[in-house]
């Protein structure tokens, strides 16, 4: 059975659910999921798991992400991106490059962020974006995030200098909304701002250089094998043959001495389990290989 990760270069206009549906058809299996939604307007890395590799997805979701973005200063929209109606305009001609860089620096590090009201966060059991589209006013609570870096690359004055288009790269923790960063950059500079373009270039260890478009995958369905995907994602522990057998039965073995979840590999290179130390032993969090060396489902 084919198992592994597919690193998709998501096209603009597609939902993440659309991509999963397409990969299901290409892979010929229903057991497909993704590790973190991308908005329809966004492009770039969407990590998709097939069959047994879907069990890795929960460990990928929490990894850091990197994006390239274009932020328009001088306009605010109801959705904090270019798909929403413009709700205010302020001439941004007086905003300087130094001010923009200083504002980006203030949005770097461990900060509190109020997510965009059109996010997928649930409010009383309903998605926030659904409430906004129904005409409701939604106010979400702030939450802690980490912006590891917010680098400004280019600033262009458009529409006679009334608005500024700012190209940036953002590396951030899971749960960060780049739309909200665009909004907050504009708020800090008192001219408003929204996101006009977004491309995700990295999800954890998986980058755009290994991503494939849906057209390329239709021609050659490229899958990152389960063992290779786990080696890139997690610390590695090489097992003895005896340890591999014990883990394949779901039994505990000697501790690894690491705090983190560890990918444990048999002498033949196959992924046996994900381990975590628990006191005097390491216990399997997930077992991928059943006793006898056959894959576990």
Residues known to be catalytic: 39
The residues, any chain, with a CB within 8 Å of residue 269's CB and separated by 6 or more, are 227
Provide the 3-class DSSP secondary structure of residue 150. Answer: strand
Using the 8-state DSSP alphabet, how is residue 239 labeled?
P
CA distance 62 to 149: 17
CA distance 6 to 217: 9
- Two structure tokens written together for 93: 């001609």
- Two structure tokens written together for 151: 């680098």
The residues, any chain, with a CB within 8 Å of residue 137's CB and separated by 6 or more, are none
- Two structure tokens written together for 101: 């860089």
Question: Which one, of 89, 85, 69, lies nearest residue 77 by Cα?
Answer: 85
- Two structure tokens written together for 196: 């006009």
**Rounded (to 5) percent helix, strand, coil in the chain:** 25, 35, 35
CA distance 83 to 157: 21
CA distance 173 to 184: 17
| C-alpha R_g of the chain | 22
């Amino acid at each position: 059975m084919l198992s592994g990760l597919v690193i998709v270069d998501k096209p603009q206009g597609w939902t993440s659910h659309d991509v999963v549906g397409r990969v299901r058809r290409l892979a010929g299996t229903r057991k497909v999921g993704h590790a973190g939604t991308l908005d329809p307007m966004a492009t770039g890395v969407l990590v998709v798991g097939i069959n047994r590799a879907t069990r890795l997805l929960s460990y990928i979701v929490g990894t850091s992400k990197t994006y390239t973005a274009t932020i328009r200063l001088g306009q605010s929209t109801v959705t904090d991106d270019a798909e929403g109606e413009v709700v205010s305009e302020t001439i941004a001609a007086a905003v300087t490059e130094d001010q923009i860089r200083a504002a980006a620096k203030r949005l770097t590090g461990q900060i509190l962020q109020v997510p965009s009201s059109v996010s997928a966060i649930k409010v009383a059991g309903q998605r926030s974006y659904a409430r906004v589209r129904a005409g409701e006013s939604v106010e979400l609570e702030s939450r802690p995030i980490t912006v590891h870096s917010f680098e400004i690359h280019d600033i262009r004055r458009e529409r006679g200098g009334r608005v500024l288009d700012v190209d940036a790269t953002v590396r951030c923790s899971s749960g960060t909304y780049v739309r909200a960063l665009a909004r907050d950059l504009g708020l800090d500079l008192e001219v408003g701002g929204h996101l006009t373009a977004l491309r995700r270039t990295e999800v954890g260890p998986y980058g755009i250089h290994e991503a494939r478009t849906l057209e390329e995958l239709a021609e050659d369905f490229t899958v990152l094998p389960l063992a290779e995907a786990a080696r890139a994602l997690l610390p590695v522990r090489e097992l003895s043959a005896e340890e591999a057998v014990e883990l394949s039965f779901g039994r505990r073995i000697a501790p690894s001495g690491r705090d983190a979840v560890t990918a444990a590999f048999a002498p033949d290179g196959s992924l046996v389990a994900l381990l975590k130390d628990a006191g005097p032993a390491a216990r399997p969090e997930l077992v991928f290989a059943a006793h006898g060396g056959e894959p576990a489902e």
